[in-house]
Amino acid sequence: MINSIVGRKLALIGLFFLITFCMVSASWAGPLDSFSGEKGDIKISGGTAHIPVMKDAAKNIMNYNNDISISIAGGGSGVGIKQVGEGLVDIGNSGRKPKDGEISKYGLKIFKWAIDGVGVVVNPENKVNSLKTQQLVDIFSGKIDNWKSLGGIDKQINVYTRDNSSGTREVFWKKGLNEGEITNKANFVVSNGAMKSAIANDPYGIGYVSVGHIDESVLPVTLDGVLPDITNIKNGSYKIARGLYSNTKGEPQGLAKKFIEYMFSTEGQQIVIKQGFVSVNQ
């Protein structure tokens, strides 16, 4: 009888510890655990502002599970939307929300995982670091073509812009230039990285980049008294802002679904913050 009671007590204690262990194990489960045991590829293309975040996320996932391969290409928002819509990639990134026609044509599902600003930048040697919106419009239209007109050196202004497929260009054109004309003398660059490099190497250049790409190699320009930085994007005082999106053709499945879920996890949003963007959880 005593042995039977002891046995039941030991069994209950064992069950208690088993439940406790399961609960603790569940609490230890991290955002990468969903990739455990998986194999396969994820193909991503599109917006170039997204690339630093995508690379960090992909590195974490592939370090966790080396049976998963993730490829990341740029090309711009239009390319990302088109390629995912045509089934060439699993995830198409865009720095603008896809248009209604694109959504219906491709059956897109849209996921906004960060907020970004587009900042006007010049070379660090430039003394002109503050502009009014109308001055910016006049510079990009070609109406103002010399830095001397703005209190700078007597040199021609070299305008840099992106092509029409760029989401960065679209938000800058709409919210920075009020849909004004861009001079046909403008120099075209293919990505945020290329824009930053061009301005860093041209003392007389002016362009625009995702705020997440701004570093000491370029000088951010205060626009209407507001600096393009994370604080001003978060509080809404800096108006040239947009979402960063990942899009899929239909509901995401398999590894693509898990990748997008990871972007919204605490760990994924920490990558967003680390790369200079605003978390959608803030």
- Please tell me the distance from the alpha carbon of residue 167 to that of residue 117, in angstroms, as a whole number: 12
In the chain, the percentage of residues whose pLDDT exceeds 90 is 88
| Residue carrying structure tokens 């592939």 | 62
In sequence order, the 6+-apart residues with CB closer than 8 A to the CB of 236 are none
Q: Which structure tokens are listed for 43?
A: 């193909």
Q: Check residue 104 and give its pLDDT.
A: 98
Q: Check residue 8 and give its pLDDT.
A: 56
Q: Check residue 9 and give its pLDDT.
A: 52
For the entire predicted model, the pTM comes to: 0.81
Total tally of structural domains belonging to the chain: 2
Closest by Cα among 210, 200, 214 to 126: 200
CA distances from 38 to 43, 70, 87, 147, 254 (A): 15, 13, 21, 56, 9
Q: For 45, what's the count of Cα atoms within 13 Å in the CB-facing half-sphere? A: 18
For the segment 92-104, the average pLDDT, to the nearest whole number, is 97
| CATH code for the domain in which residue 231 is found | 3.40.190.10
Residue 103 lies inside a defined structural domain of this protein: yes
- Please tell me the distance from the alpha carbon of residue 238 to that of residue 229, in angstroms, as a whole number: 8
| Residue ranges making up the domain that contains 208 | 117-241
Phi, psi (degrees; rounded to nearest 5) at 228: -80, 90
pLDDT tens, position by position, 65-80: 999 999 999 999 999 9
Residue 27 lies inside a defined structural domain of this protein: no
Q: Check residue 63 and give its pLDDT.
A: 98
In this structure, the answer to whether residues 173 and 155 fall within a common structural domain is yes
Residue 97 lies inside a defined structural domain of this protein: yes
Largest Cα–Cα distance in the chain?
103
In sequence order, the 6+-apart residues with CB closer than 8 A to the CB of 239 are 175, 226
Q: Check residue 6 and give its pLDDT.
A: 47
pLDDT tens, position by position, 192-246: 999 999 999 999 999 999 999 999 999 999 999 999 999 999 999 999 999 999 9
| pLDDT tier at 22, thresholds 50, 70, 90 | very low
In the chain, the percentage of residues whose pLDDT exceeds 70 is 90
